[in-house]
Each structure stands twice: as structure tokens, then as C-alpha cells.
């Protein structure tokens, strides 16, 4: 914590002298280089392990207004500070007392405009804090600078189990660093990278990380730009992962190639239980090839293929693959907003005895005006 305080004091002096001209990248490097010695001077019986007095001093040095909510809830096990407008400096001030705070276990700083510098400060804090297990820094414009800092943190932190980085403008460059961190980190169980701009190269990078990761149980990559070869590479990574239980790939662009690769992955993966590939522009021929993987898979319980242009032929192919797999664990097949015909309904009814708990959601049948139908069976 002394390192963070000295860094704050140094930056204040530079600002007064007019010499503080570093970019976010330079500021990040300064964070990685400063002394991280956390031993504090003896402050006597009034020492507060929450860091209250420290926080007030750092706020004074950085010339930011202390967050009264933080002061009031420093002893809570869960700190929720969404939409507080902390900014980079306010976030840095917050990070200093959190280094040694032993009360807070869950930290939610969503939507605070912390940017790369603030993200780097939180990442540096998490390298030292061994109590916080869940962190949400979504909607903060962290960019690749903040993501790189988070990746560096993940290589050292052995406490964090959940990290949310949604909607932070992360690119393929960020994916490269995060993937490298996933290779070495075995503690993180949930990672949210949704609503970013990860593209084809990200799929290539993540394949490496996912193939060797041994900790993740849930991964959210929804609302990105992963398509083509990137989708194929990512699917290959999922095939080799034997720990993930839930994966959300919705709102990307997997198309036919990605769907085929995912089908192959399902033949090899015997751990995955939930898969969401809705809104991925998958055509009928793509989902039929994908369905071949369902014939061999024994673990998938929930599959969402809704809002893809797979037509009734694709829906029928999926249901037929489940029908033909006596070891299928399927409990929910989501085909939201996709029309089906009577052949599909007849096949589903014939499966009620074999799959008594199976639920199928789909659009209305041809010739009806019902907006949605939920087929629910009981034994």
C-alpha cells in the first residue's frame, strides 16, 4: 500500500510542476514498476484495517472528493458502487485502502469511467489483496490497457474466482493477454467478456488459453465479433477443455463454419452442460452438421439455438439427433422465434416417454398465429 501512496504523491508533485504528461500506457507501466511493499508503519491502537484514514489521505493527495458511500460500507462483505462517477483518480484512491482491507469479499465497480488507469490500479490492488473473490468492472472503458493490467494480475492472483469485464472496448490485443493469463491461472471460475469487440484473431488466442486452462467453469463471450476462422479456432479450444460447464457464444457470427466446428467439439467434449449459440447467423446446413455432434454427446443439458435462420429442417435435425442418442442428457432445447411444422411436433410427442423431462421452446407452428409455443412434458 505504501507503494500506491508514494505513486499518488509523486503524480501530484508532477502535476504541480506541470510535468505530468504520460499516456495511459506509461501510467500503467509506472504502476507495474513501483514498490509494492505492503508493510505499514506502526500506527498505534487506532489503526483501522479497513483503510479509512489511508483513503482520506490519498484522496487529499489526489485532490478527489472521498466517496461517502465507500466510507460507510468499508466493513461490508460486499461493496456495490455502481454509477458513482469515480473516474481514474477516484478509482486509484479507492484501490489504496482495498489493498489491505480484509472485510470486502465482493467488489462491484460497474460503470465508473475508470478507464485504463483506473483499471490498472484495481488490477495492481488485486495482486496484493487475498480476500476479494468476485470483481465486476464492466462498463468502464478499460480498453486494452486495462485488460492487459487485468491479465497481468490473473497471473499472480490466486483468490479471485469471478471477473466481469463486459462492455469495456476490449479488442483482439486484449484477448491475447487474457488468453496467456488463462494458461497459468487455475483459480478463476467465471469470466465475462461479453459486449466487447473481440474478433477473429481473438478466437485464435482464446483457443490456446482454453485448451490449457484448468479453472474456468463458465465463460461469456456474447455480443462480440467472432466469426469465420476465429469461430473455428475457438470451437477447437472448447473441444480440448475438460472443465468448462457453461459457454455463451450468442450474438457473434459463427455461421456455417463455426457451427460445424462446434458440432465436432461436442463429439470430443464430455463436460460441457450449457451452450448458447443463439443469434449467430447459422444456416440449416450448418446446424444439421452441428447436430451430428449431439448424437455422440452425453453431457449437454441446455442448448440455445434460437433466432438463427435454421428453418424447420434445422430444428427437426436437432431434435432427431437427440432422439437418436440414447445417452443424451438434454433437458432444454431453445429454438425461440423459429417456426416448426407438424413433423417436428409429431417427433417431439414420440419422445415423451424416452425423454420425460425434455422442454422445447420454439416459434409458432406453420399455419398458426400464436407468437410462441412452449412444449413442456412431464412423466
Which pLDDT does position 50 carry in this prediction?
82
Which pLDDT does position 378 carry in this prediction?
35
Residue 168 has φ and ψ, to the nearest 5°, of -130, 15
Cell of 117: 488507469
Please tell me what DSSP assigns to residue 364.
P
Task: Look at the alpha carbons of 94, 99, 101, 106 in this order and tell me if their dihedral is positive or negative.
Answer: positive
For the chain, 379 residues long, give each residue's pLDDT as a single digit of tens.
555 555 555 555 544 444 433 333 344 444 443 333 333 434 444 567 788 999 999 999 999 999 999 999 999 999 999 999 999 999 999 999 999 999 999 999 999 999 999 999 999 999 999 999 999 999 999 999 999 999 999 999 999 999 999 999 999 999 999 999 999 999 999 999 999 999 999 999 999 999 999 999 999 999 999 999 999 999 999 999 999 999 999 999 999 999 999 999 999 999 999 999 999 999 999 999 999 999 999 999 999 999 999 999 999 999 999 999 999 999 999 999 999 999 999 999 999 999 999 999 999 765 543 433 444 433 3
Of 307, 248, 312, the residue nearest 279 (C-alpha): 307
d(CA 311, CA 51): 59
Cell of 252: 457473434
Please tell me what DSSP assigns to residue 341.
-
59 CB burial (10 A radius; 0-12, 13-18, 19+): buried
Of 127, 109, 105, the residue nearest 118 (C-alpha): 109
Q: What are the chain's domains?
A: 75-376 (3.80.10.10)
Element (H, E) at 163: strand 162-164
Length of the chain: 379
Model-level pTM?
Answer: 0.86
Of 53, 28, 27, the residue nearest 40 (C-alpha): 53
71 in Cβ contact with 94 (< 8 Å): no
Which pLDDT does position 28 carry in this prediction?
40
d(CA 220, CA 184): 19
- C-beta neighbour count of 38 within 10 angstroms: 13
Of 266, 220, 210, the residue nearest 243 (C-alpha): 210
Question: To 10 degrees, what angle do helices 24-33 and 143-154 make?
Answer: 20
Amino acid at each position: 500500500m505504501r507503494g500506491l501512496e508514494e505513486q499518488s504523491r509523486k503524480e501530484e508533485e508532477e502535476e504541480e510542476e506541470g510535468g505530468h504528461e504520460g499516456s495511459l500506457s506509461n501510467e500503467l507501466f509506472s504502476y507495474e514498476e513501483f514498490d509494492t511493499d505492503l508493510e505499514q508503519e506502526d500506527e498505534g491502537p487506532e489503526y483501522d484495517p479497513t483503510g479509512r484514514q489511508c483513503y482520506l489521505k490519498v484522496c487529499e493527495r489526489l485532490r478527489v472528493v472521498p466517496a461517502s458511500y465507500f466510507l460507510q460500507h468499508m466493513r461490508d462483505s460486499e461493496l456495490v458502487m455502481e454509477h458513482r462517477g469515480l473516474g481514474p483518480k477516484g478509482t486509484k484512491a479507492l484501490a489504496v485502502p482495498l489493498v489491505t482491507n480484509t472485510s470486502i469479499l465482493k467488489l462491484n465497480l460497474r460503470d465508473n469511467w475508470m478507464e485504463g488507469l483506473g483499471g490498472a490500479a484495481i488490477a495492481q490492488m488485486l495482486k496484493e489483496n487475498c480476500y476479494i473473490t468476485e470483481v465486476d468492472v464492466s462498463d468502464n472503458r478499460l480498453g486494452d490497457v486495462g485488460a492487459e493490467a487485468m491479465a497481468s494480475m490473473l497471473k499472480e492472483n490466486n483468490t479471485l474466482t469471478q471477473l466481469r469485464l463486459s462492455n469495456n472496448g476490449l479488442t483482439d490485443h486484449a484477448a491475447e493477454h487474457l488468453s496467456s493469463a488463462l494458461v497459468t491461472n487455475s483459480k478463476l471460475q467465471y469470466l465475462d467478456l461479453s459486449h466487447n469487440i473481440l474478433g477473429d484473431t481473438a478466437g485464435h488466442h482464446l483457443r490456446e488459453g482454453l485448451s490449457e486452462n484448468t479453472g474456468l467453469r463458465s465463460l461469456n463471450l456474447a455480443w462480440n465479433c467472432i466469426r469465420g476462422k476465429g469461430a473455428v479456432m475457438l470451437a477447437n479450444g472448447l473441444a480440448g477443455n475438460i472443465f468448462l460447464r457453461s459457454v455463451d457464444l450468442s450474438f457473434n457470427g459463427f455461421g456455417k463454419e463455426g457451427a460445424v466446428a462446434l458440432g465436432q467439439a461436442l463429439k470430443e467434449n464430455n463436460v460441457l452442460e450449457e451452450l448458447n449459440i443463439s443469434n449467430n447467423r447459422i444456416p440449416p446446413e450448418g446446424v444439421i452438421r452441428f447436430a451430428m455432434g449431439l448424437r455422440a454427446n452425453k453431457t449437454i443439458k441446455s442448448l440455445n439455438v434460437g433466432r438463427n435462420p435454421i428453418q424447420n429442417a434445422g430444428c427437426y435435425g436437432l431434435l432427431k439427433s437427440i432422439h437418436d442418442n440414447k445417452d443424451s442428457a438434454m433437458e432444454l432445447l431453445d429454438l425461440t422465434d423459429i417456426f416448426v411444422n407438424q413433423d417436428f411436433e409429431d417427433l417431439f410427442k414420440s419422445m415423451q416417454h424416452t425423454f420425460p423431462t425434455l422442454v422445447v421452446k420454439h416459434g409458432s407452428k406453420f399455419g398458426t398465429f400464436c407468437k410462441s409455443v412452449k412444449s413442456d412434458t412431464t412423466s
